[in-house]
Structure 1
Amino acid sequence: MSDAPIHPIRFVLSDMDGTLLHPDHLPSQRTIDTVRALREMGVFFSLASGRPPKAMLQMVEAFGIDIPVAGFNGGTLINPDGSILVAHHLPAEAALVALALFSGVAEVEVWVFADGDWLRRDVPGPMEPREAAGLGYGPVVVKSFEPYLDRIDKIVAASLNAPLLVELEARLQPKVQGLAQVSRSQPVYLDVTAMLANKGDALRTLAAHLGVPLEQTAAIGDGGNDPAMFHVAGLSIAMGQAEEVVKRQANVVTGSNVEDGAAQAIERFILAPRSTL
């Protein structure tokens, strides 16, 4: 972990999987206690995840979050009472292009998130149990994605073949440029969302909602969808197990998620400086 000049931080926006959570999809007691200490010192704390909002509720409760959170990579901002603050759907044109590219590709499972549900069309694959364990619920099987084209929150190509997803990302980017965001939230997940469905815009919106200047915000993450908020935050923190391309875009690099790297960084760069104010 390297040192970096920072402003007094008043709002922290953190990724969930691979950042706050261990591989078993649960936070350590140290991480829970560190977030509690943040909130006791008057620092706002919230979550930004590729997960659907309803798959974030358990962690919202665990961390005692009482401000809006960002699901679908920032595509949907949800108030504490469950009402929607902001929602951005994927344009149908971009959805059709992505589905056409992904469909029929061996080793790739194609999922659509719409109407609050996780939708699957084809036979289940090896990635489905992993996703169900992380979300806490399973998919709804549909005959076609066509009825949902006007209200898709996210399309996911999932595969244990990470290099294949890198190739698909490179092929899809130019086809949907200006229409959609394409990023790998983790090496085994390729996400397609609306242009404004990104964690950078989510950070801007939440900071404005809270009345916090961007230079007094911090962002923590590990995936390819996290640099969008790194570029906006006053302090950006990459997890130790993140890919090098992600680490290079952060101000500092902390320990891995299994080492409670998020807690380490919060303690060192946010809590410790505030304790001397």
Structure 2
Amino acid sequence: MSEATIHPIRFLLSDMDGTLLLPDHSLSQRTIDAVRALRDAGVFFSLATGRPPKAMLQQIEALGVDVPTAGFNGGTLVNPDGSILVAHHLPAEAALVALALFSPHPDVEVWVFADGDWLLRDASGPMVPREQHGLGYAPVVVESFEPFLERIDKIVAASNNTQLLIELEAQLQPKVQGLAQVSRSQPVYLDVTAMQANKGDALKTLAAHLGVALEQTAAIGDGGNDSAMFHVAGLSIAMGQAEEAVKRQANVVTGSNVEDGAAQAIERFILASA
């Protein structure tokens, strides 16, 4: 809080799922009002999410976001008009390693995001309905991921077996070190993206684009993929339901997403000193 007081926040970068959004993927009126109040106070607001850019459109419109946003954990930065500001693809070498590690596990669903589509080999997996509801569009079934290896935005291992995802994360990290980012965006999702595709680099790029010093930025989130922006932002805020390892990396902790924790944080830590 001392840093926030010395350097009033001029830009807030927020995670979406588990942060701004309720468990049913909706936005509460309090959250919408808090973001509007930020913009009225002259504070820039944007989104950084593991989602594909086209799965952010509804929230961008509802929140009135008018600056570039970050999809694929920062792998793709998109201007308000839909044009690409920055795009980083996963190296084919890292993609092959991840796919080889994930594929043998029957309770892990393997998803690939490329060419603007959500690709999978089997649409009958139990995690598919949840993801389709969250994204707002259906997957494309393919026989093989091989034709897409040179232009993959993200690979996801999805499973209700959280412990298995923790183990796979630990196994994959050293295998793709220097090539890819590996992080759990939610307990049931393990994301693999390009090295430059992280929310910390996204925050740096967006802040520079907006002309805001890093000490005047804030970041809020709940997942392991949010830690990268916590380490960069002048003020880092963890959601109340976040894992303890995530909370320890933040300056402050707010309420959970079901308690409108993001709105609480905006009101308490940003607007109060704006």
TM-score higher than 0.5 here? yes
Match of 1:158 in 2: 158
Match of 2:52 in 1: 52
Q: What do the CA deviations read for 1:138-187 (whole angstroms, capped 9, x no partner)? A: 10000100000000000000000000000000000000000000000000
Q: Is the 8 A contact 2:180 2:193 kept in 1?
A: yes
Distance, in Å, in 2 between the alignment partners of 1:179 and 1:35 is 36
Alignment of 1:93-112 (within 5 A): 93-112=93-112
Residue-pair matches, total: 272
C-alpha distance in 2 between matches for 1:138 and 1:185: 20
In structure 2, the partner of 1:234 is 234
The alignment's TM-score, normalised by the length of structure 1, stands at: 0.97
Q: Which runs of 5+ in 1 are unaligned?
A: none
Preserved contact between residue 3 and residue 234 of structure 2 (Cα < 8 Å): no
Q: Which runs of 4+ in 1 moved over 6 A?
A: none
* Secondary structure in structure 2 of the residue aligned to 1:154: strand
Aligned partner of 1:167 in structure 2 is 167
Structure 2: 5+ residue runs without aligned partners? none
Task: Tell me how far 1:134 sits from its aligned partner.
Answer: 0.3
CA distance in 1, matches of 2:3, 2:63: 27
Aligned residues of 2:123 and 2:139 also touching (Cα < 8 A): no
**Equivalents in 1 of 2:71, 2:183: separation in Å?**
15
**Which residue type is aligned with residue 264 of structure 2?**
Q
Asked whether the equivalents of residues 102 and 108 of structure 1 are also in contact (C-alpha less than 8 Å), the reply is: yes
CA–CA distance in 1 between the matches of 2:233 and 2:25? Answer: 25
* In 1, Cα distance between equivalents of 2:196 and 2:157: 20
SS in 2 for 1:16: coil
Given the two structures, how large is their TM-score scaled by the length of structure 2? 0.98
RMSD: 0.7
Distance 1:104 1:175 in 2: 17
Counterparts of 1:124 and 1:190, CA distance in 2 = 19
- Out of 230-239 and 5-14, give the one that drifted further: 5-14
What percent identity do the matched residue pairs reach?
83
Q: Within 5 A, what are the aligned runs for 1:13-24?
A: 13-24=13-24
Deviation at 1:4, TM superposition (A): 4.9
The whole-number CA distance in structure 2 between the counterparts of 1:263 and 1:5 is 20
Q: 1:139 matched to which residue of 2?
A: 139
After TM superposition, the structure 1 = structure 2 runs for residues 153-232 of structure 1, keeping only pairs within 5 Å, are 153-232=153-232
Give the distance between the partners of 2:57 and 2:162, measured in 1 at CA.
29
